[in-house]
Each structure stands twice: as structure tokens, then as C-alpha cells.
Chains A and B, each alone.
Chain A
Amino acid sequence: MTTIKVNGKDYHIDADPDMPLLWVIRDIVGLTGTKYGCGAAQCGACTVHLDGEAARSCVTKLGSVAGRPIVTIEALSANNNHPLQLAWQELNVPQCGYCQSGQLMSAAVLLRENPNPTDQDIDDAMAGNICRCGTYTRIRAAIHKAAQLQREGVKS
């Protein structure tokens, strides 16, 4: 039995400690906003926050996350009003949407650490999140917009 803390709530998980955290989040905890893309930490669709960092849940083992705070897209903000979510809506960033929860979770780490990122900073932070629809230019614009909202005091 492994106890994990997802979005502030404890879950007692009876599963193999080698099970990927992604399986636990989606199939056992039941939060399906986090997506399976490649299963090899190559695409970023499965990104969640682990200890505040943008961890790839598809290669993170259940046994390694006991007691560590995990945040999924469902809890990025209380009311879907994180500056990134507001900017994403305003600029209609998603196309198919499959990769977008991972994109948002990675972008949230960037904005936390760098409130005024340049295009280069965005590339450096986001190059590990792949979008097969090619929404990269809108993602970049939305991160700039979210940075502006954050500076203006919009709080999630």
C-alpha cells in the first residue's frame, strides 16, 4: 500500500510500486485530465507537478512518490482561472487539445520561476512538450499573455 497526495488529498493505493504514476492518476485516482502520449518521457502530455516540478508521470514510479505533493491539471487553479488558463482561452490555443494539459503544467513552472520570459526562455522551457497540431506559436503568445496577466495581478 502506498499513500500519495494528489491535489491536496491523500490516496491509499494498493498497486505495484513500479506502476507508472500516470496509470495511478488516471485509472485508480480517476483524474483523466493528464494524458498518455508516448510512455517514454518524450512528449510531455503526462506532465504533472511533483514537489512543484514538471515531472513526466509516465516514467515516474508510484513507489518513488509516496507522501510527495502531486498536482494535476485539475488543480492548477481553483476555478480554471490560472493566468495561463485565461490566456489559453482568450487566444484559443488548443486545436485537438490532447497535449494541452501537459503544456499548461510545464508553462506554469516557467511562469513561476520567470515571470517575464523571453521567446528564448519559452523555447527552453517548452521544447519538451510536443504538439502534433502545431499550436506552438499560439502557445508562445499565450505564455506572453499569461505573464502579462500575472504581472497585472490576476491570481488563480
Chain B
Amino acid sequence: MKKMIHGKIRNRIAIFLSIVMFMVAVITVSFTSASKNTKTKPPVTKDSVASVKAFMTVYKVLTNTRCMNCHPAGDSPLQGDDSHIHKMNVKRGIDGKGLYALRCSNCHQAQNTPGLHMPPGNPHWQLPPANMKMVFQGRTPRQLALQLLDPKQNGGRTTAQLIDHMANDPLVGWAWHPGDGRTPPPISRAQMAAQVRLWIAKGAFAPDAQAK
């Protein structure tokens, strides 16, 4: 008899402990996920239509002459609003800063040289390096979006670094202060940076292959 009573008590204690452990586990998990949520940003509201729309605005800027001239398909930079090949057949070189006696900074100063057809300038004047050419010229919207998101093709940048590059890089900023005779991009830098942020915040979708 005593054994039966002891057995029942043991079973009840075991069930009680199981319930307590289960509740502790549930509470712990819920607190853990709650604390994780407070550390990260609010969940992204993905929206492929809004994302692609924002990218298409960015695409118009990146394929504008001021950006594209230094992201050419070939190994020579481009010049002017008509994107002709750089006079003197200047070459990219290994580091993107030219070759031999035709290094970029031999002519391009730290600032624009005033006057029509005078060399524009910036302390960081260069093309992308030979081992990562980051070509914009001739890329479709889809190709360029995928390229920009791929660290193996975008200079090793995360999306946060990509936004920072577009919003704050001094050489990118030159495009909006291009000097005499050069047309700046169609929208302001702040507007472009906002569209880059929106593109990525909405899911960083690439336009479909037919988009132009």
C-alpha cells in the first residue's frame, strides 16, 4: 500500500516538474527572441515593386556619364558628356590609376582645374582596379543590380558599405561638382542615396531581365 502511495506521489512530482520545466523553457525562449528583436532593426518589409522602382532611379544615375565614364567596359576611361574614349588613349593600369607616364594624378589635380576642357580633379581620381573593374557601361538594370550586390564584384562591400559608398565617398561626390562643361547626374546625391537605401530596405530586388 505504502509503495503504491509513494509511486503515485512520485508520478505527480514528475509530472509537476515536467510542467514547470516546460514553462521555464517557453518563457526563456520568448525572452530570448524578444531581446534579439530589440538588438536588430524592425523586420524588413520587403516590396519587390518599390525596391525595383528605387533601383531604376539609381540605375539612371550610375549609367549617367559622370558615373559611367570611370566605370567603362574597356580599359580606357571615358570623357565628356558624349562619353568618348579618353584622349591620349589613357589606360587603367593595375591599380586603376594609369600607366607609366600617364598616371591619372599627373594631370588630374586634387580639385577641378577651372575652364572648359581642363582636367577635372579629386584627390582620389582613378578607375576601379584591373582585378575588379566594376563595369557600369553596357550593363542592363538587372546585371548592374546583381553586380552591385555581389561582394566579389562590388569591391567587397556589404550592402551597408555600398550605401555608404554611394552616400559619402568623396570621389563619387565629385560627380555633383564636375567643373566647367560637364553635366551633373539627373538627381541630387541626397536623392540618389535615399533611393539606394530604399532599394536595399525593400529587399534589394533586381529588376527582371527585360527592364531597361
Contact = CB atoms under 8 A, between A and B. Distances in A.
Interface string A28-53: 00000000000011101001000001
A59 B118 contact: yes
B101 A106 contact: yes
A48 to B, nearest CB: 10
A126 B100 CA distance: 9
A101 interface: no
A55 B88 CA distance: 15
A150 interface: no
B152 to A, nearest CB: 28
A42 B100 contact: no
B101 A40 contact: no
Contacts of A124: 89, 91, 99-100, 102
Interface string B81-119: 000000111110000000111110111011001010111
A128 interface: yes
A121 B99 CA distance: 9
B132 to A, nearest CB: 21
Given A121-B100, A127-B89, A128-B101, A54 B106 contact: yes
A142 to B, nearest CB: 15
Chain A interface mostly: mixed
Interface residues of B, number: 20
A118 interface: no
Given A40-B115, A127-B89, A64 B99 contact: no
Contacts of B110: 64
A74 interface: no
A62 B110 CA distance: 13
A88 to B, nearest CB: 16
Interface stretch (A2-10, A92-100, A109-117): A109-117
B101 A56 contact: no
A40 B100 contact: no
Contacts of A44: 101
Nearest to A42: B87
A106 to B, nearest CB: 4
Q: Which of A47, A61, A127 is packed against the most chain B CB atoms within 10 Å? A: A127
A109 B87 contact: no
Given A125-B100, A128-B101, 8 more contacts: A47-B101, A54-B106, A59-B118, A61-B109, A105-B101, A109-B101, A127-B89, A129-B101
